[in-house]
Structures are given as structure tokens and as C-alpha cells.
Structure 1
């Protein structure tokens, strides 16, 4: 059943924002590495896709005030502090009240010793009554849920809702009331579940905490920004689908890059472009190469998903081509429309996306703990493809509609071919090396601005912040005349303060968006390579400040207001932070050891 789009919402009584006007900075995320739920500082779950990240939502209040939500009603409450519990993906939220505090613990069962697909809400003893209301709206809010009784449980189609106190159905919502002074819980299961008791829930919680602790134990880092590194790893892991090992770009869709739209995209898919940076982050921080290798393995399973290229530039969690783009009749976050599911850019030619897979493989061979050339057949196919098509215009790293000779795509293709040549046979080394030299000659002849900087594309007078990565990719030294000219132009034209950076877009004004959070971390890596470590540290700190109190980044941030923009949590930005901090820490340690 399709519902008419409601009018733009005002705040609810008592000053609580309408669900689809909640600031992105106020959002927190819980998950079980299958799916995730997004909630605000008042404990309202406003986004939840049962079973998997890219599946249809049950709760979409984040994108429409009638899209479904699970709220905790405490008359007179206001938001208090919140934190993740013991390094896990389990979120504790405090509501302040004149009579005292109300504590919520939201989590999803995780690990081999807990049931699969259970979302739990625990409420500590409250000084005042608490009312919990689950208002489901399946399939992105496109039809009303069918609620029915099954013993003490409420069935929401095939899903089972249980509570510590009696549940009742009120219209199309399920309600539980908790008297003052009593603790309680509600849980929602993907399928039928026998009524649990308190002991069972306590056991699941401890098992889930133990599961998350195994990730902490796999990390070997004690350097600068240790807390922020831990937060970034948690965010990446909250975006990672355990069964397939794919990491989605974010767990949400259609949170806008420009206030009030229309640049609103579905990021619940796995991008090739992210592979290099995420694999690098996992390999450089973890004691074993398991997580990084599994992610690369997922990427390499995507062969055959494109009719024209080695693979689609992003896929769903089954390593299949992502669904086509569809617009939903929802009001949008803060009125930003259209609201989209699916993504239409999957079969673009993006040289950087394919090249990043080869670079990720190089990192596995160089940084990993295994000697074998994992997924070498895929690397060979990609390098042969790049050798034959690098001369073609592509859609670039920002997935532009217009195909041009984007410099960053040529540069990273050359770096990928050179890195793979070191592991290939004599014939491969020659062919790929020759192609890389041809690319370098072409870039030198066609991709410099009149100022001598690397142009965003051949023939352009403008630069883009992706060029800060050229030394990181080993394309050139950080202090070449071209790089110095590029960084001068970037700071002059594409940075509001020398620490945060806009991206340069072909089809829109990049300065109309927020600053691109990952870009600042790329620039920090550049200054580490130049030896200006204090400058790099200041840029990293400025980037960290764009996150929220839980250490979560969205894709962008408004440099004037601090408002977070775009989907959350942005795995790419978190991986960028890790890369910059590790480079800084290694440089600081080298400086210390050298006196």
C-alpha cells in the first residue's frame, strides 16, 4: 500500500525533533555484522533493515516521519551521555530526568553462542514510568505491518517481539509499559523465537561482548590517537557483513551530501574503490591478515558482474550486481529528496576502482603474513584490462556522469600496474611496466594545469584533492614541483581553512557540499611524507572533530556549522583516518629513534 507523502514535519511536543529532522551528528549505530540499526540521542531507533544491510527496512523514520520507529517515551526526559559498551557495538544511552537517570542498552546478538537476528533493548530501573512503542513500517515504509498475537509475543509478519512486561497492540503499533522503579527489556527477532528469560538474555549479552572482544584482541596498536583508531575500527566492523566479509560504504541511504538534496545516494553496497584503503587499514593494524584477506576475497568473487569490465565497480553483499536505482515516496531526511534505494553507477568505467583492487592485493603481499599471491588470477585480469583501456575516458573517482580523462584514474592505474609487475612473470612485468610508462608520459603531457599542478582531468585548470594521494600511491615524491603546485592550488581553491577540503566535481559545485571528511586525512598523509608532522597532526585533529561523540563519521561536514552530511558511518572516512594516523605514528617513532 503506497501512502501519500506527508507534509514537512515540525518538532514533536517537548522539543524532540521529528524523526526525519534529527541531526546526523546525533545518530548512533548498533549491529551484529549482518545488519545495523540507527538511533538518536533519545533512544529512538529510526533505521533498521532486518537480516542484512542492503535489505528492505522495517524502520525508516530517519527518512520519513511515518516510515516507522521504535521509541522510548519518558515524559520530561532529555538526552544525556552515551557510549559503546566495553569496545563493542553495543550502545548505552542515558536519558536525563529531573527525577533521575534512565539508562538504555541497545544491542544485537552476535557470535556463535547467541541466536542470530535478535535486536535487544534493555532499560535499567527508571525513576519514572517508561513506555516503549514499536511502530513498524516494512519495505521502506511502503505498507503497514500486520501485527498479531502469539501467546505473550506479538508477531510482526514473520518477526517475533517479546517483552519483560505485557505487550499490547495499539492500532499498527506494539506497546510495552514499564512502571517506575522496574527494569525491563524488549527484543525483536528476525523469525520465531521461544520466549527468553532474564538468564538467557544475560548469557547472550556476555557471549556478544566476548565476540566483540576478539576483534580488540586482534589489534596491535598503542600509538598516537589510540582511542580514535579503536573507534574507527569499530565503525568499519559495524559496516562489515560477517558471512560474506564485504564492507558496505555505509549502513544508510539517502542522507544528503547537499542540504535538502538532491545528491542522495544508497551506500549499502561494497565499492571496489574502498578496497585499497580498508584492506590497508586492517592489514596494518591487525596481528594477522585474516580480516583484510577476507575482504579482498569478497571483492575478487565479484568477477563476472559486469558485461563490459572485469567486475562491477560495486556489488551487493552476495557479490552480485547491485539493484537498479529506485526512488521511494518518502519525505526524506530534513526534506532532502529524492530518497533512493539501489544505485545506478554499478557498470560505469572507473579506472581507479579496478586499480585499487590491484593495490589492495599488493598490500596483502607486502604487509600480510602470507607469501602466496592470493587472488592472483583476478589481479592479472585487472592489470591486463588496465593495459588495454587506460587511454579511454572514464567516470572518475566521484562517479561523474560525463566521461573525461580524469588524472587520478590514470595515476592509480599506473601505480597498480607497477606494483603488480613486481609479482608477475617476465612477460607480464614488461607489458604492465610499458603501459605504466606510457601512462606517466601521457599524464605529463596532458594533465598539468598552466600553474604546473596536476589537473583534475586533462585540459582542466582546476585540481582535486585526490591528488594528495599520488605520493601515497608511490606515483611521485611528495616534494616534486608538480605536487607542491597542486597542494598550493588545493589550499587556495578547495579548503576553507587549510585543514578541511572540498572535492572538485564536474557536474556540481563541490563547495556547495560539505567538506569531504576522508580528504583531510589524505592531505595529512601527504604532510607526513613531507616530514611536517605537527601540521599533519593538526589536520588529523580537524578531521576527527568532524565526527560525533561516538567517533562516527558521515561522508561530509558543513565547515560553517559543523553539521554532518551524507550517509553514516562512512567506512572510507574511517579507513582514511587509520591510514593517516599509522603514517604519523611511524614517522614519530622514526624521529624518536633517530634522536
Structure 2
């Protein structure tokens, strides 16, 4: 494989493409450095993001080019990037998209403006996370790649060693399509234009579902786009992130696969999609996916996370890749499957409560009832916690969320005895928290009986468990400010106290959401600190290190973007209330 000459991909530089089935990541220099054909968690074909030398990419080899800016076209997934050369006013505009919609082929399409000078499109494929050597063969006007993919282009695609190269002369426009299937007819300019226009129209039709207007409108717009780009359109399942093994600690071992659907995310994702204006159909559809797939397994009422088709994610497997910034292991699958995570079920109940109140329904009641019954009987059990620790302990957040979720959902039960039983369990959980879950300073502990606190506790008043100015919350905020905060960014509790891990951006946004209830201007300061880590396209990573200014972790992360939407909606409401005489 030809060694790449462009800089190593950086998290902050990644743009996201999606057809709502799979995703690709492209740099500001127009290099596709991550692509999983067919579905979000499929084996990668391009993975230079995780291995500079062996991972594979699809680059635009335009000598002397520098990034000249980029933008999404509308609210959908078509990304327009400009490359500039040293020649005055010499620009190459690249429009990248994955055709989205029924009847359109699956793959990555690139449309390039008239060339200011000769350049090459260079595809170095690395099938199955670079575990297999690539095979290339000419197939008429296309080049067949690994027997499963085809490269079609406006100019001849040539096999040069292990690369596929398309040479474009100066003054000519071009297109290229990396297809997941052999097309019956060789595409031409008219075909590609039709794909592009149909895909843009499909995105336009989708993006009318949420219509938020107010403060931080651009940030909300970018966050809604991220949620939609990372939602599978066949089942309406939203994955946590399109990547695996982007490190929480640069050069460390905290590298996980996030290309799955977490029940925990349901509460915030459904809330974001439902409360951001529009008809609420997208949030409702995600809840439908969760409830349709929430089947008992491993002695639990539902798995804590799923694949996009409702299956069980595979066990963790290490890959022989160098890793982002030499962060290893690189792995696929996720070992947290089968864990008891009480907060996951509580979040599903919160999502249902929101939908029920918004639409006056009790949809999916059978599943919601089953999850509530499980929490009623098991809230006191030790679990693995919101951060999916590797041993069971009495994590407090799960008990708190069980209490409020049972209280909320009891109001929708039509069985008085059932409602009374759920309310009794909720009260018992509250009593347990009051008696077992406070530190010596009176703050809410991360684990009952220990002194550490966690940023999740700022959600307790947001959920309605306690008042924002209760003594316990004031003590909790004091602990977070003193031990877990830098430059308005907040760390989660770390069992190993490894402070090399970045500050957790969703948790930081939760802190801002807490301050909406007490001091909205302070919430803005914290939100602005988070937005400083958004890239030029408004995409946010999982974590950020205020000491190095580096983004960290898998991203863009839907949990972060959903938290941002929820915060801004609450902030806008609070500021309107302050303006009302």
C-alpha cells in the first residue's frame, strides 16, 4: 500500500458523512479516513484514522493544497469542502455525500469542480480492518475491490500496485463513486446528478421534523444533524458514535467501540428529538425501536445496548492496528453486554413519560410495564453503573433514576395496585439514598459508602429527585467545583483516578443544565466552554482535555449532542421566563 503523505488524521478535523445506514469520516483536505460499508458497525474498508500506514484511505492528491473551508449543504449530510492551491483564486470544490433514500445505491460519492491543476484521486482500500490483503481487478469501466466494492468514475480508474488511481486533468470536473454493489448500468454525469438531487430532497424532507428557533440555533442545528446522521433509517436506532477505539486517554488503553445503540441514551435522544420543535416523530420512532428490541436476555429485561438491527453486539476483539496516536488496544465489540445497568431502564421510562405527556398515549406499554416491574423489584441490587464499570457496586445514580422513573411512570398505570407498588418502591429507594448515599460532607456519593462524587448527580434536580438548592446538591456542586472542574469543563468520577482522561462533555452540559435552574448566565458560560471544542462543522467529541486543548474519545458522540439540545431548550425557556414581566 502506498504510504500516505498527508498529516495524520485528527479528531477535530473529521467531517461526517452518512446515508443513515453506515458512515464515513473525511478530513478538511478531502481524505476519507474511515468508512464502514453497509452498516455502522460493519468491518471497515478505510481506517487510516486508526492506522496511518495500513488502515487505508481515499485521498485527493492535489499538490500544495490547503483547506479553504467547508460546510454542510442545508441540514442534511452533503459536505462541501474547498481546497486551495498556491495559484491565485485556484480552488477545487469537493461535494461528498452518501446517497440517502430508497432506490439509491449505497456508497460514497464525490463530485469535484473544474480542476485548477492536474490532480489524482487515490484509493487505498484495506478490507476487514486491514486484516485482509486487498484484491483489485478491472471490471469494465470500474475497478472491483475485494470482490465486494466497485469504483466508478468520470475518468478512467487505473490499478497501480495496491492503489486505485483516477487522474483528472486541469480544467475538467470529475466525479467518483465507491459503490457497495455492482451497478447494472455504468453511471454518468446525469446519473450522479440525479442521485445528488434525490438525496438532497430526502434530507430536506427529513429535516422538517424539528424546527427549533432561539438562542444557540446554529449549535442546535448542528446537533440535530449529528443525531440524524447517526440514526439508522430502517429501524430508527441512534448509535452512540460512528467510531471505535478513539482514545479517552491519548496513548492509553481506554479505547472502546461505540457503534451501537445504548438504552441509556434513549432518555436524552428522545428528549432532544421531541423537544426541538417539529412533530416529535423522530423521538417517537427511536422509542419504538428500543421497545421493539427490548427482549429479556441474560436474566435482564433487556440488553443494555444493541446493534442497529436489534442484535447483541459481539464480544471484544483486539485488532492489529497501530491505534489513533498509538493508543492501543484497538478493538471491536463491547464487553459491557449483559451488564445490569439500572439507569438504562430508568432512561427508557423517562423517554416513555415524555412521549406519553406529549402525545397523550401509552404506546409500548407492555414493554414499559415490564421494565418498571424490574426496577420495582431490583432497584436495590448492585449494578455496573452509568460508566459501565467492570464490577458490581451500589452506584447511586441507578437508585435515584429508578425512584424518579417509577414515580413518573406510575402516573400512567391504570392498575391502582400496580401504581401503589411502584410508588412504594420509589419511596424505598429515596429512603435508601438518604440513609446510605451521602459523603461525609453531605454530597451525593458516586458509590454508596464512599467519598467520591460524580457529575451525573447534577441531573438529580433535572430529573425531579431533589431541589437544585437542597443541601445535598449544594455540597455536591462544591465537591465537583473543587475536585472535578477546570476551565468550566467537568470530569466524571474515575474509579482509577486517571486524570489523563479528558473532561466529559455531556456531563459538562449537564452541569450547565443544572445552572439553568439557578443562574442561566452561568449556564451560558459553561455551554460556551463546550462549544469551543466543536469543530468547524459543529461536531463534538466525547471528551476534551482543557490542559492540551485536544478533543478525545469516540465522536461525534450523540450523547453529547443530545445533551446540548436539552440544555439549550431549557435555557431558552428560562430566559423567556425571565423576560416576562
Instruction: Give the Cα–Cα distance (whole angstroms) in 2 for the partners of residues 125 and 592 of structure 1.
Output: 52
Give how far 1:216 is off. Answer: 2.8
Instruction: Give the Cα–Cα distance (whole angstroms) in 2 for the partners of residues 326 and 158 of structure 1.
Output: 23
Query: What's the counterpart of residue 483 of structure 1?
Result: 473
- Residue 126 of structure 1 contacts residue 183 of structure 1 at CA under 8 Å; is this kept in 2? yes
Query: What's the counterpart of residue 152 of structure 1?
Result: 141
Give how far 1:289 is off. Answer: 2.4
Give how far 1:178 is off. Answer: 0.3
Aligned-partner SS, 2:512: helix
Query: What's the counterpart of residue 352 of structure 2?
Result: 361
Give how far 1:52 is off. Answer: 0.4
Instruction: Give the Cα–Cα distance (whole angstroms) in 2 for the partners of residues 165 and 330 of structure 1.
Output: 33
Query: What's the counterpart of residue 393 of structure 1?
Result: 382
Give how far 1:511 is off. Answer: 2.3
Instruction: Give the Cα–Cα distance (whole angstroms) in 1 for the partners of residues 385 and 448 of structure 2.
Output: 12
- Residue 68 of structure 1 contacts residue 137 of structure 1 at CA under 8 Å; is this kept in 2? yes
Aligned-partner SS, 1:244: coil
Give how far 1:303 is off. Answer: 2.5
Aligned-partner SS, 1:87: coil
Instruction: Give the Cα–Cα distance (whole angstroms) in 1 for the partners of residues 205 and 479 of structure 2.
Output: 45
Instruction: Give the Cα–Cα distance (whole angstroms) in 2 for the partners of residues 303 and 116 of structure 1.
Output: 31
Aligned-partner SS, 2:486: coil
- Residue 43 of structure 2 contacts residue 129 of structure 2 at CA under 8 Å; is this kept in 1? yes
- Residue 28 of structure 2 contacts residue 81 of structure 2 at CA under 8 Å; is this kept in 1? yes
- CA distance 1:48–1:305, change in 2 (3 Å): farther
How far does the alpha carbon of each residue in 1:327-379 deviate from its partner, in whole angstroms, 9 at most, with x for none?
00111111100001000101111110111111110011113xx3220111111
> Is 1:405 the counterpart of 2:406 in the alignment?
no
How far does the alpha carbon of each residue in 1:51-84 deviate from its partner, in whole angstroms, 9 at most, with x for none?
1001111111111121111111011112221111
> Is 1:75 the counterpart of 2:63 in the alignment?
yes
Q: TM-score, normalised by structure 2?
A: 0.97
- Residue 209 of structure 2 contacts residue 281 of structure 2 at CA under 8 Å; is this kept in 1? no
- Residue 504 of structure 1 contacts residue 510 of structure 1 at CA under 8 Å; is this kept in 2? no
- Residue 494 of structure 1 contacts residue 511 of structure 1 at CA under 8 Å; is this kept in 2? no
Map of 1:323-362 to 2, 5 A cutoff? Answer: 323-362=314-353
Aligned-partner SS, 1:511: coil
Instruction: Give the Cα–Cα distance (whole angstroms) in 2 for the partners of residues 268 and 59 of structure 1.
Output: 16
- Gap runs ≥5 in structure 2: none
Instruction: Give the Cα–Cα distance (whole angstroms) in 1 for the partners of residues 122 and 98 of structure 2.
Output: 18
- Residue 503 of structure 1 contacts residue 510 of structure 1 at CA under 8 Å; is this kept in 2? no
Instruction: Give the Cα–Cα distance (whole angstroms) in 1 for the partners of residues 362 and 494 of structure 2.
Output: 37
Give how far 1:305 is off. Answer: 5.4
Instruction: Give the Cα–Cα distance (whole angstroms) in 2 for the partners of residues 546 and 273 of structure 1.
Output: 24
Query: What's the counterpart of residue 82 of structure 2?
Result: 94
Among 452, 463, 466, the residue aligned to 2:453: 463
Map of 1:13-412 to 2, 5 A cutoff? Answer: 13=5, 16-17=6-7, 21-65=8-52, 66-99=54-87, 100-112=90-102, 114-156=103-145, 157-193=147-183, 194-304=185-295, 306-367=297-358, 370-412=359-401
Instruction: Give the Cα–Cα distance (whole angstroms) in 2 for the partners of residues 390 and 439 of structure 1.
Output: 7
Instruction: Give the Cα–Cα distance (whole angstroms) in 1 for the partners of residues 558 and 240 of structure 2.
Output: 5
Instruction: Give the Cα–Cα distance (whole angstroms) in 2 for the partners of residues 551 and 74 of structure 1.
Output: 26
Among 471, 493, 504, the residue aligned to 1:504: 493
Give how far 1:121 is off. Answer: 0.8
Give how far 1:472 is off. Answer: 0.8
Query: What's the counterpart of residue 520 of structure 2?
Result: 533
Among 518, 534, 544, the residue aligned to 2:531: 544
Query: What's the counterpart of residue 557 of structure 2?
Result: 570
Instruction: Give the Cα–Cα distance (whole angstroms) in 2 for the partners of residues 510 and 500 of structure 1.
Output: 16
Query: What's the counterpart of residue 404 of structure 2?
Result: 415
Give how far 1:212 is off. Answer: 1.2
Give how far 1:510 is off. Answer: 4.8
Instruction: Give the Cα–Cα distance (whole angstroms) in 2 for the partners of residues 216 and 55 of structure 1.
Output: 26
How far does the alpha carbon of each residue in 1:438-494 deviate from its partner, in whole angstroms, 9 at most, with x for none?
000000000001111101111111211000000111111111111111111111110
Aligned-partner SS, 2:237: coil
Among 408, 433, 436, the residue aligned to 1:446: 436
Deviates more, 1:372-381 or 1:274-283: 372-381
Give how far 1:384 is off. Answer: 0.8
- Residue 407 of structure 2 contacts residue 423 of structure 2 at CA under 8 Å; is this kept in 1? yes
- Residue 355 of structure 2 contacts residue 361 of structure 2 at CA under 8 Å; is this kept in 1? no
Instruction: Give the Cα–Cα distance (whole angstroms) in 2 for the partners of residues 557 and 248 of structure 1.
Output: 20
Deviates more, 1:142-151 or 1:462-471: 142-151
- Residue 47 of structure 2 contacts residue 56 of structure 2 at CA under 8 Å; is this kept in 1? yes
Give how far 1:188 is off. Answer: 1.2
Instruction: Give the Cα–Cα distance (whole angstroms) in 2 for the partners of residues 399 and 298 of structure 1.
Output: 22
- Gap runs ≥5 in structure 1: none
Instruction: Give the Cα–Cα distance (whole angstroms) in 2 for the partners of residues 245 and 215 of structure 1.
Output: 12
Instruction: Give the Cα–Cα distance (whole angstroms) in 1 for the partners of residues 273 and 369 of structure 2.
Output: 23
